[in-house]
Chain A
Amino acid sequence: MTHKTLYDKIWDSHLAHINAETGEALLFIDLHLIHEVTTPQAFAGLKAAGRNVRRPDLTLATADHNTPTENQAAGLEGVKDEQARTQLEMLSKNVKEHGIEFYPMGHINNGIVHVVGPEQGRTQPGMTIVCGDSHTSTHGAFGALAHGIGTSEVEHVLATQTLRARKMKNMAVRVSGKFQDGVGAKDLALHLISVIGTAGGTGSVMEFMGEAIEAMSMEARMTLCNLSIEGGARAGLVAPDETTFDYIKGRPSAPKAGQWDAALSYWKTLFSDEDAHWDEVVEIRAEDVAPTVTWGTSPEQALPLSADAPIPSEISDPIKRAAAERALDYMGIEAGKPLKDLKIDRVFIGSCTNSRIEDFRAAAEIVKGKKVADGVRAMAVPGSGLVNAQAEEEGLDQIFVEAGFEWREPGCSMCLGMNPDTLAPQERCASTSNRNFEGRQGRGGRTHLLSPVLAAKAAIAGVLGG
């Protein structure tokens, strides 16, 4: 018995060097995912120093943040925003120069970086995975240590295939029991963040465990780990199991036949030992998690959909009270009013949090044979070309289109207001994305985070609580 957590095991197996005095380690990186927005300065830095990419074979590129979600067949010439086009062109040039595999806009494998890695089988248990994007935590769903890094660190990983890191703390989130019908990973994540706060996991790797987690699909685990960063934890983890192995098997970059058995035996050692030490433990009963939405401008400002908006004068903590006042004012919500009655203008089903096939299946079940409410503009945006193709094969795209949704082409879309898909000031949006920050989806836009099921219901009803 080794008394180690899953995180301890992955950390130990990737230590290329550690400075005994300072605790500063060099962690070997198994997979470096890159995209157009956070890499141009890193490649420029490499060039200026006369360095090369150390392991292009362990690097994978896709274009996602800036790409428009319509008319992608027109290629880069069709990208109207000149600066966005320059970033996309720069990525194409840099990957070509360094021999890095790249799925450009319009390629069947193109899509959101955190959808692409897993669906290609590049994301595997026990790996270390980094990307210049905070939602890299998504890949923790496979039992991989995965987190976001800044552009200076991107340059460091390109040059050395290592990351300078310090050991983080171990936090366990145990979720017992079974969820109520229609409640799932998104509701759990928002509920958890509302309990521990957006800084609750700061300095920790958050491992999710327990009956409710074991019962989850890979898509649900990805949603959950994706949102661990919104709870302050750079990385989330779920120990790999049969669900994980079944998901990986047969994917293009899964270990080949001669290596599959060896990989599988290795992966089966990746779990937290029973007597491992936890710096912090959070216990949640799945039955206690309600369908959950955010009402404010921080992911911790979340409540059950059946609740009323908070009344700031009833909040005793002065900082939290001021934050609530500010958020209600920005969101245009009257204190104490039922959240479910809020009239919405827009619906967005997509983003690295919720744009996988299971998300669209769940939403399609709700909208099938129904119509989007008058005055609501609803968008469904698949996370990748492959999700799009699968949805088309299952006829899901038609279900959305017949209901009055726009079925668009893959990309980050309206999650971050960086491409043409944005909210107008004061527009209220039911969104399956990950951040309800002020202006995140467009200046003055009002974002309510929720699950694909709740977003679909809202689209039909025209109010948040459909």
Chain B
Amino acid sequence: MKKTFSRHSGVAAPLLIDNIDTDQIIPSREMKTVSKEGLGEGLFAGWRYTEVGGREPNQEFVLNQNSKIDSTILIAGSNFGCGSSREHAVWALSEYGIRVILAVSFGEIFHANCLRNGILAVSLSQDNIDALANASNEGEITVDLVEQTVSAASIKDWKCDFEIGAYPKKMLMEGLCPIEMTLTNEKAIDAFLQVDKETRPWVYTV
């Protein structure tokens, strides 16, 4: 089923720490699966539960607070999703129900992984992140991909803009499959190969 994105309003959980790496988003011990399913439980396992492998909630952790348990938006600091390339981090967020991540900046591979799974990852200034984190305790946050704005129910007449490339925006809005898109360029790939085999024959004779 195609997952498309245009506008989303929901509960937002602030996790205002810099450099939250993908080992925190999902520890390696929680990702020994061969499917994309069943990873939501392992989301933030090291912080969310009291014991390794256990499921006893740590009440201190933001997603275990009654008002935040149904969060669909995360608000974070700089370099969110740095570290390992594991897409399991994005699958875990997605299964938990997260649709949008607002952060000062992102790890690159993580950012690319979000795009391929219909999660909107938006970079905002530290000031806007702080404002939205405060506002998230008083009501929903709304992210409009069409208009490229973020607003908060608790801040009247305020919204901030965000940037996104034309291609990722189209991909998210239409839920496009990159492999299908690439296969429409198959002739160009074949033509490249014809020439390159002459230029660098040793690459193709392993």
Contact = CB atoms under 8 A, between A and B. Distances in A.
B66 to A, nearest CB: 25
Contact of B27 (A149, A260, A322, A439): A439
B198 to A, nearest CB: 11
A418 B21 contact: no
Contacts of B117: 152
A313 interface: no
Contacts of B79: 198-199, 202, 232
B19 A66 contact: no
A22 B78 contact: no
A259 interface: yes
A123 to B, nearest CB: 12
A323 B16 CA distance: 10
B87 A266 contact: no
Contacts of A13: 196, 199
Interface in A18-33: 19, 21-24, 26, 28, 30
A26 B185 contact: yes
Q: Among A17, A30, A150, A160, which residue has the most Cβ atoms of chain B within 10 A?
A: A150
Given A26-B182, A199-B78, A149 B35 contact: no
A338 interface: no
B29 to A, nearest CB: 6
Contacts of A253: 206
A365 interface: no
A92 B181 CA distance: 30
A399 B31 CA distance: 37
Given A199-B78, A418-B28, A83 B33 contact: yes
Interface of A: 13, 15-17, 19, 21-24, 26, 28, 30, 37-38, 40-41, 44, 49, 51, 57-58, 65-66, 81, 83-84, 86-87, 90, 122, 124, 126-127, 132-134, 147-153, 155-156, 159-162, 164, 166, 198-199, 202-203, 232, 234, 253, 255-256, 259-260, 262-263, 266, 298, 300, 319, 322-323, 326, 416-418, 435, 437-440, 443
A150 B192 contact: no
A152 B116 contact: yes
Contacts of A17: 185, 188-189, 192
A440 B87 contact: no
Contacts of B24: 437-439
Nearest to A82: B32
10 contacts: A16-B191, A30-B203, A126-B200, A134-B84, A134-B85, A152-B113, A159-B183, A234-B108, A255-B202, A262-B201
A122 B90 CA distance: 31
A230 B136 CA distance: 31
A26 B189 contact: yes
Nearest to B191: A16
Interface of B: 17-19, 21, 23-24, 27-29, 31-36, 46, 52, 77-79, 82-87, 90, 105, 107-109, 112-113, 116-117, 165-167, 178-179, 181-183, 185-186, 188-189, 191-193, 196, 199-206
Contact of A134 (B83, B105, B166): B83
B182 A164 contact: yes
A369 to B, nearest CB: 37
A323 B166 CA distance: 35
A155 B179 contact: yes
A124 B200 CA distance: 12
B129 to A, nearest CB: 11
A244 to B, nearest CB: 15
B100 to A, nearest CB: 19
Contacts of A38: 85-87
Contact of A417 (B27, B77, B166, B202): B27
A408 B23 CA distance: 25
Nearest to A412: B28
